């Protein structure tokens, strides 16, 4: 069985140890999807519906050309021809040939190749996105986990899980770049550890998202109308370390959800997030004796009436 391969070497500061804790903030329906042994991994194309820049990185065309040749080596010309025949109309193919014979026309072929190459990659690459942190995140609860749950695991657990699927996976930290300039202090397209990212734009993201500390697992497969691949018969105990419920749940809601989750994972580490534990929840407020309000209005609480005047 193929073991997931990390995109960065151990000498790189972006390398992930197997004990690294990662989280997914998801709706309740997604949690029960997982508990039923199912995992849906969306295509990069599907992810782009939420972020139009997903899978797009407008690097210098010379960088792309060099990375394409370096990565595919003696297969590069064959792949280029296949892309042109598969995705380009006859008119576009003729234009490419005309421009190739022109001293200043080579860039048209390169730009066309890059456009169709990335279209193909976005449709046939499937990415599972995680948040890397030892602790919960208030921001992630707000953006992705509102009224949902946070599922906790480790890099090592996911590696072991995907090794059993028989699918090839690669994984790694996202590299965040400035969209305007296309570069960052973390990214150097001329560096051996980075040039391959030019052909894997699904591991690049705008700096506006760097607070998410994202880790991705990516596999490849045929494009599906569902916009993703579905893994079945995945035992949740094999990869879920803990489940944290939305921090604003009432005690009764927490109790009900925990009972439902226990039907699938009897010994699950599952409870309401304590992120807002200092706040009084609704069920606690409802239990407050209404006599306190009555004493206030009837001046039976010993507070001088003048202090109650607005």
pLDDT tens by residue, 70-80: 889 999 999 99
Is 187 contained in some domain? yes
Tokens of 260: 């439902």
Domain that holds residue 233: 5-57+123-272
- Give residue 283's pLDDT band: very low, low, confident or very high (50, 70, 90): very low
pLDDT at 231: 96
- Within-domain flag for 197: yes
Tens digit of each residue's pLDDT (9 = 90 or more) over 238-263:
999 999 999 999 999 999 999 999 99
Given this model, what pLDDT does residue 281 score? 47
201-207 mean pLDDT: 89
**CA-to-CA distance for 215 and 21, rounded, in angstroms?**
10
Does the structure show a pLDDT above 80 at 276? no
Residue 170 contacts residue 197 (beta carbons within 8 Å): no
The residue to which tokens 């695991």 are assigned: 153
239: phi then psi, degrees, rounded to nearest 5: -135, -20
Average predicted confidence (pLDDT) for the chain = 86
Tell me the pLDDT tens digit for each residue of 185-202.
Answer: 678 777 888 888 889 989
Q: What is the DSSP letter of 59?
A: -
Which residue, 127, 95, 102, 106, is CA-closest to 64? 106
Q: Is residue 284 part of a domain?
A: no
pLDDT of residue 279: 47
In a domain, 285, yes or no: no
Q: Which two tokens stand for residue 281?
A: 């929840």
pLDDT-wise least confident of 112-126, 138-152, 271-285: 271-285
Percent of the chain that is helix, strand, coil (3-state, to 5) = 40, 20, 40
What are 3-14's pLDDT values in tens digits? 999 999 999 999
Q: What integer pLDDT is reported at residue 207 of this predicted model?
A: 84
pLDDT at 302 exceeding the cut of 80: no
Predicted confidence band at 310 (pLDDT cuts at 50, 70, 90)? Answer: low
CA distance 267 to 117: 46
Q: Structural domain tally of the chain?
A: 1
Say if CB 221 and CB 124 are below 8 A apart.
yes
Residue 141 banded pLDDT, cuts 50, 70, 90: very high
- 243, part of any domain: yes
Whether 67 is in a domain gets the answer: no
The DSSP element (H or E) to which 173 belongs, if any, is strand 169-173
217-242 residue pLDDT tens: 999 998 777 799 999 999 999 999 99
Taking alpha carbons only, the member of 183, 204, 190, 177 closest to residue 67 is 190
**Is the pLDDT confidence value at 278 over 60?**
no
The answer on pLDDT for 180 being more than 50 is yes
Helices (H), 40-103: 44-47, 61-72, 76-87, 90-100
Indicate whether 11 belongs to any domain: yes
Whole-prediction pTM:
0.84
End-to-end Cα spacing for the chain: 73
Asked whether the predicted pLDDT for residue 309 surpasses 60, the reply is no
Q: Span 68-93, mean pLDDT?
A: 92
Instruction: For residues 120 and 190, give the distance between their C-alpha atoms in angstroms, rounded to a whole number.
Output: 24
Is there a domain that residue 244 lies in? yes
Do 218 and 125 touch, CB atoms closer than 8 A?
yes
């Amino acid at each position: 069985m193929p073991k997931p391969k990390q995109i960065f070497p151990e000498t790189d500061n972006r390398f992930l140890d197997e004990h690294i804790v990662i989280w997914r903030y998801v709706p309740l329906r997604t949690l029960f999807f997982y508990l039923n042994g199912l995992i849906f991994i969306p295509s990069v194309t599907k992810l782009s519906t939420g972020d139009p820049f997903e899978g797009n990185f407008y690097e210098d065309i010379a960088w792309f050309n060099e990375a394409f040749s370096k990565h595919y080596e003696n297969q590069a010309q064959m792949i280029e021809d296949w892309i042109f025949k598969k995705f380009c109309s006859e008119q576009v193919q003729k234009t490419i040939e005309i421009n190739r014979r022109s001293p200043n026309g080579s860039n048209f072929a390169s730009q066309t190749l890059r456009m169709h190459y990335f279209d193909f990659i976005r449709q046939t690459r499937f990415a599972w996105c995680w948040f890397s942190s030892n602790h919960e995140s208030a921001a992630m609860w707000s953006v992705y986990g509102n009224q949902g749950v946070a599922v906790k695991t480790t890099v090592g657990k996911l590696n072991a899980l995907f090794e059993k699927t028989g699918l090839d996976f690669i994984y790694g930290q996202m590299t965040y770049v400035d969209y305007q300039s296309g570069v960052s202090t973390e990214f150097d397209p001329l560096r051996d550890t980075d040039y391959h990212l030019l052909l894997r734009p699904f591991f690049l993201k705008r700096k506006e998202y760097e607070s998410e500390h994202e880790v991705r697992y990516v596999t490849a497969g045929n494009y599906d109308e569902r916009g993703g691949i579905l893994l079945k018969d995945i035992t949740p105990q094999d990869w879920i370390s803990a489940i944290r419920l939305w921090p604003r749940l009432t005690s009764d809601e927490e109790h009900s959800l925990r009972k439902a989750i226990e039907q699938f994972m009897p010994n699950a580490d599952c409870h309401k997030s304590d992120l807002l534990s200092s706040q009084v929840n609704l069920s606690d407020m409802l239990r407050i004796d209404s006599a306190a309000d009555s004493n206030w209005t009837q001046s039976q609480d010993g507070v001088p009436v003048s202090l109650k005047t607005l």
